[in-house]
Amino acid sequence: MESIQTPDWVSDAIFYQIFPDRFAWSEQVTKPSNLEPWDAPPTNHGFKGGDLLGIAERLDYLVDLGVTAIYLNPIFQSTANHRYHTYDYRQVDPILGGNKALRSLLDEAHRRGMRVILDGVFNHASRGFFQFNDIVENGPASPYLDWFYVKHFPLRPYHAPKGKHGYEAWWNLPALPKLKVSTPAVREFLLDIATTWIEYGADGWRLDVPAEIDDDLFWQEFRCRVKAANPEAYIVGEIWHEARRWLQGDQFDAVMNYPVTRACLGFFIGDNLARDQVAKSGYHQIDTLDAAGFRREIECQLALYPRPITEVQFNLLGSHDTPRFKTLARGDHSACRLATLFQMTYPGAPCIYYGDEIGMEGNHDPDCRRGFPWDKHRWDRELWELVRQCIVLRKAHPALRRGDFVWLLAEHGVVAYLRRLGSEALLIVLNSTPAPLTLDLPVEGHLAEGARLREWWTGAPMRVQGNRLPAVRIPARSGAVFVAEKEPGP
């Protein structure tokens, strides 16, 4: 295997996922009249009118939080508020402001040193997609017959009994006809779309259900085309499970790291997990983990992939496809704090789902896609500040982004690990128990006798004695970060 190359900037990135219809509204974008009230509970089909210029106008908020990269859910023309039903891959949806609005957003983001990756829906299109509509209208005579998996005529894209619509569709949903990627014309169409938007200025692709395109050669060519347009473009696939097939250096740079998300839910929330919501979501089931079980899950993930892949994995605590983390934790603020501190001190690129930083809640979709409340009186300011400070911590210490990850302790509800890069070392301790604890942490072979450390939040000094960090006090359901002081040079 050749040396694996991943985009260098991703290891340093702090991502923020935005569902465009629900984040921000600009007065500069003309809107249709029949929109849902912004603060009303979201529905499956209703639009709230968020747009790309609204995002551009709120970039300073993201900069203040510490965000350096944005992942946008689909933005191309569609009849769905989530826009996974693509109508026209070459046009940004008019409700979002059209192509000009994307141009403005990219320019404003890049001016601030921020990257923007787009959501690529290449497995399926929509009933309104021109080539599919041509088959509906012309039947066997359509020149685009081989663009889709047609089973029988007439096609019945509306009001057909389940499974009787006459063509293959994603999850057998007639609104999502599956593209036949083995057809050369389809293949070239999708590859052209991929490169077109990278050349336009997008910084990468998040790929929707890419495993459904069971074709390594397609994804290898996809990578070649995208990287030719921009060698630093980031390609991250939506794979919910072990993904070594796609992470050999010839297809994706990373995947959405849901196995780590699951481990965080199982350990930091544990028995308090809202299992009724888990069962309705893509998680289906999540087991409670003790400290040793959490360590095993994390060790498994760290061992799966080469280090260049691990350091750019897309690490998330929730997304548009899952109930909100705080909701799954039944409102437990401590679980949010612990999980965030772990996320920001773990290898890979952390991603914040819009609103999680201010304590937004929501059950399984569409409820997890509520309008962002811009009234700061409705924010959890304590959580926002914690997220911001965790980002400051991560940015301040390269060891948290590119350093080794070493377990020190995982027992009795407590995990402790070391992040080290050269002479820089940080020790992170997370107490998931409902009681304050005082610990002697073993550091033999990792920190020298007499080494001095300082707790990052409080400034409290510590010193290694007898190959241990003695009397480490961790409040209930809380964490601490100890930064080793560098020894003075000769």
Catalytic residues: 208, 238
Question: Three-state SS across the chain?
Answer: CCCCCCCHHHHHCCEEEECHHHHCCCCCCCCCCCCCCCCCCCCCCCCCCCCHHHHHHCHHHHHHHCCCEEEECCCEEECCCCCCCEEEEEEECHHHCHHHHHHHHHHHHHHCCCEEEEEECCCECCCCCHHHHHHHHHHHHCCCHHHECECCCCCCCCCCCCCCCCECEHHHCCCCEEECCCCHHHHHHHHHHHHHHHHHCCCEEEECCHHHCCCHHHHHHHHHHHHHHCCCCEEEECCCCCCHHHCCCCCCCEEECHHHHHHHHHHHHHHHCCHHHHHHCCCCCCCCCCHHHHHHHHHHHHHHCCHHHHCCCEEECCCCCCCCHHHHCCCCHHHHHHHHHHHHCCCCEEEEECCHHHCCCCCCCCHHHCCCCCCHHHCCHHHHHHHHHHHHHHHHCCHHHHCEEEEEEEECCEEEEEEEECCEEEEEEEECCCCCEEEEEECCCCCCCCCEEEECCCCCEEECECCEEEEEEECCCEEEEEEECCCCCC
